[in-house]
Amino acid sequence: MLQITATSHDRQLTKGGELVTFVWPLMAHFGIGNQFQDESFPVNPVQELDCPFKGIKRMVNIVGSCNGVFCLSDDVYGKYTERAALWNPSVRKIVNIPCPNFTFTSYGPYIPSLGFGFDSTTDDYKLVRIVYSHFNFGEIRPFVEIYSLRSRGWRKVDNNLKYVITAPQRLLF
């Protein structure tokens, strides 16, 4: 469940946009999240939205958000689903991202890291995916690919990463 909140105070804080807050059913049941309900930060739901991206066992990772667009993934707990989508809840539009080039089927067990952002030089939303071998973690160069919303495709990126990025699933740029 998503709650979208918009008050005059919130609009000032978000520069004319709407504030999106996430309230998961378990959190609501135990009253978690109520600490934000005060006069300076009212939480009054304007509209509840059902997330159109359905993941494994109803679990979805929020990779990141930018300009009101959310990047969602259902690669939860290393299930190697390789499914992702870009969702704009304000216009109720979702774009399913095609399967990446580097998959469990093509490579075997791996450790993925995802990043999502907006490239202002090309006016394009992009998803960066860094994949490390599960068996040779840190010993061989990772596989890096970028999905471009504008071109609707993945491209491999030659890389010379000198460091291991150890934040599986969630990276932002």
Answer yes or no: do 76 and 87 share one domain.
yes
pLDDT tier, 126 (very low <50, low <70, confident <90, very high otherwise): very high
Answer yes or no: do 121 and 111 share one domain.
yes
Answer yes or no: do 120 and 68 share one domain.
yes
Answer yes or no: do 56 and 96 share one domain.
yes
pLDDT for position 8: 34
**Whole-number average pLDDT of the chain:** 70
pLDDT tier, 27 (very low <50, low <70, confident <90, very high otherwise): very low
What's the domain count of the chain? 2
Answer yes or no: do 42 and 61 share one domain.
no
Answer yes or no: do 104 and 151 share one domain.
yes
Domain that holds residue 93: 51-172
Q: What is the pLDDT of residues 36-86, one digit of tens each?
A: 455 555 556 556 667 777 765 667 788 889 999 999 887 665 555 678 899
Counting beta carbons within 10 angstroms of the beta carbon of residue 60, is it exposed (0 to 12), middle (13 to 18) or buried (19 or more)?
Answer: buried
Any idea which of 1-5, 98-102, 118-122, 152-156 has the lowest mean pLDDT? 1-5
pLDDT for position 63: 86
Answer yes or no: do 28 and 62 share one domain.
no
Answer yes or no: do 139 and 160 share one domain.
yes
3 state SS of 78: helix
pLDDT for position 109: 75
The model's pTM: 0.67
Any idea which of 24-38, 47-61, 137-151 has the lowest mean pLDDT? 24-38
Beta strand 69-73 with 61-66: parallel, antiparallel or unpaired?
A: antiparallel
Answer yes or no: do 97 and 43 share one domain.
no
CA distance 33 to 22: 9
Answer yes or no: do 117 and 83 share one domain.
yes
pLDDT tier, 87 (very low <50, low <70, confident <90, very high otherwise): very high
Rg, the chain, Cα only? 18
pLDDT for position 154: 94
CA distance 82 to 127: 13
pLDDT for position 119: 96
Answer yes or no: do 76 and 14 share one domain.
no
Answer yes or no: do 10 and 45 share one domain.
yes
